[in-house]
Chain A
Amino acid sequence: MSESTTSAPGEDRQRALRAFLAARAAPLASLAVILLMLVVCNVMAPGFVSVTNTMHIAQLSAFLGIAAIGQTLVILSGGIDLSIAWTITGTACVYAQVSQGRPAMLLLGLAAALATGLVIGLVNGIGVSKFRISPIVMTLGMNNVIQGATLLYTDGTPSGGVADEGRFFATGFIGPFSVLVLLWIALSIAVIVILRVTRGGRQLLGVGENPLVSYLSGVRNDRVLIAVYGLSGLSAALAGVLYASFSGASFLGMGDTFVLPAIAAVVIGGASIYGGRGGYGGTIIGAFFLTLLTTLLSIVNFSAGARGVIYGGVIIAALLLNRFTQGAAR
């Protein structure tokens, strides 16, 4: 207990820097790999790195990034949301089927889709917090329920469509900027602000790291969890709506390709899968990284199988990187 508590400011700064880097090893490494990939691509196909191309990849990343907002919050709370696959599909079907491709019905469709997502998320949250069902079982079960419900609702073939006015949000441009990317940036800022400078954000990090401590400090853990899963359902619904707008219609299984990447983006972003540690900034990098990776793998004609293997490998690498830079603290 007698060691000195005063140290040179230089040493302090160094220590702080080291801690900062260690907590962000995975996102920084993926940032480096992103740059490397871009350089290699530009060498192999000169002109690859252009404003249009970058904007295009950012646009593709936005779907994943928005779907991963909820996943980030849920993982920070110490849980996981595996129901976003069919939440995305289901809400996209609701959106397309309610709005029927008619501009006048667009808002109604949007409201119906978002409400559906919110309700799904709230039910997840109630199951996890009030009934203490483990998040993995609750959301995996919910995924199946939505799958069945969607099939019943669409009778196996989704119909309807998205009017051009609606498609603007996913495909439109304002000057050189994609509307979708601008929307993503706005949402990102909101999420980061909520996490870092509000009471709710603090409580979420507390519940995620140690629910018992947070309960004993007077936090209503169940409310925090219900809110978090609700937001996850909402963000999945938004991703579904935007993806349907991008494609012009909804189709079954459109959400399946989001679950693993969304979780991967969060893990690559350096968040602890045990909750309480991380933020949305890393997830943004993770989403961009994974989208770029997918794009490149399909450009060089990797089969779906090889892509699956590489995807899994990347997640394990990120997990290991987090493990060895942040310690195995559970």
Chain B
Amino acid sequence: MTRWLSSIRNSEALGSVAIFALLFATYFVLKGCRYSFFEAGNLATNVLPLVVVGLAQYFVVLVRGIDLSLGPIMAVSGSLAAVLFPLGIVPAIAIALAAGVLAGALNGLLIARLSLSPIVVTLATMSVWDGVALIVLPVPGGTIPAFLQAVLTSEPALLPMSLILLVGFALLGTWIMSTRFGLQLRAIGGDEIAAEASGVKVARIRFFAYVLAGFLAACAGLYFAISTMAGSPIIGDGYVLPSIGAVVLGGVPLIGGRGSPIGVVMGALILTIIGSLLYFADLADFYQSLINGVILIVVVGAAAVRDWAREALAR
């Protein structure tokens, strides 16, 4: 436990944890202090897809990339699962996740192997996977076994399943970053040329960062489809900006090399709670996108200002 605490303290996530705590307290008070595991579970259910797709974006940003196709990959995986569930639960899930891995591998091939621009490549694959999702499932629907949703809403060990999954994905991310792969991801983001010269197989590691991102996005899409009891070919659009937002809010600079998965989880929580607070404040949906945009710009801009200040002090 102390190790956990110290790892949070040492990371750049501290600010995000503080903001989250503040927002969570506000949320709690507004809710009239009726805090319960049900509430926490509810929040976890809402935030989980964003956490997972945010983690996906995190691994790509870590190696100085960006992936705009993660949302559409979610849509493909969710739609595939919704269409394929009649064939059996296991093959449906396997194919849905494999689609994510494949999509990530395509991005990785074009970006890491052929050194094409991440922005344009993923813009293009965004269009491709958006199209594929529409072909697989032209309108939201499909069949999701009720049993799966029951599993997701169950409360093993008195804890809501979604909360367990949330912690699980956070641990998964932290574990990946504790391996040699994670260390090399940070090395590439820190100084690509030095990493290459040190013997790190930069192209291969970067490729796997995109594959991992594709896989995680597919997980997020699958979860979204199951929890809403339907596949949807168009859910992706709503996740492109927030996934980057979660990464940025989590204290991860877009030039890569730094930041922790816990920070990203916090970033996702912050964005989601802000959404809930807006709902409570009875503000129209319109504000959500406006505020998301403003937050993203302000946070990145503030980081730039902070860096200047730090430079000025270091002088």
Contact = CB atoms under 8 A, between A and B. Distances in A.
B62 interface: no
B240 A140 contact: yes
A308 B304 contact: no
Interface in B252-296: 254, 284-296
B301 interface: yes
Contacts, number: 151
A151 B124 contact: no
B127 interface: yes
A140 B241 contact: yes
A306 B132 CA distance: 7
Nearest to A75: B120
Given A143-B293, A319-B116, A148 B244 contact: no
Interface residues of A, number: 46
Q: Among the interface residues B135, B284, B294, B297, which one has the most CB atoms of the partner chain A within 10 A? A: B297
B131 A304 contact: yes
B131 A319 contact: no
- Chain A at the B interface: SS class: helix
A308 B134 contact: yes
B288 to A, nearest CB: 7
Is the contact region of chain B dominated by helix, strand, or loop, or is it mixed?
A: helix
A328 B115 CA distance: 7
Contacts of B124: 260, 264, 311-313, 315-316, 319
A147 B290 contact: yes
A278 B161 CA distance: 53
Interface residues of B, number: 47
Contacts of A328: 114-115
A146 B293 CA distance: 9
A312 B135 contact: no
A309 B135 CA distance: 10
A103 interface: no
B216 interface: no
Interface string A111-153: 0000000000000000100011110111011111111110110
Contacts of A310: 131
B128 A132 contact: no
B305 interface: yes
A305 B240 contact: no
A149 B290 CA distance: 7
Given A133-B304, A140-B296, A141-B297, A330 B115 contact: yes
B213 interface: no
B117 interface: yes
A263 interface: yes
Interface in B132-173: 132-135, 138
Contact of B128 (A263, A313, A330): A313
B289 A312 contact: no
B125 interface: yes
Contacts of A147: 289-290, 293
B114 A148 contact: no
B297 A142 contact: yes
Contact of B291 (A148, A316, A330): A148
A319 B248 CA distance: 28
B119 interface: yes
A306 B135 contact: yes
A320 interface: yes
Contacts of B248: 137
Given A127-B297, A305-B134, 9 more contacts: A141-B292, A141-B295, A145-B293, A148-B289, A260-B123, A260-B127, A303-B138, A308-B127, A313-B124
5 contacts: A133-B301, A142-B297, A144-B292, A319-B121, A328-B115
Q: Lowest 6 CB-CB distances: which A-B pairs, in order?
A: A148-B290, A308-B131, A144-B293, A305-B134, A312-B128, A312-B127
Interface of A: 80, 127, 131-134, 136-138, 140-149, 151-152, 156, 260, 263-264, 267, 273-274, 303-313, 315-316, 319-320, 323, 328, 330
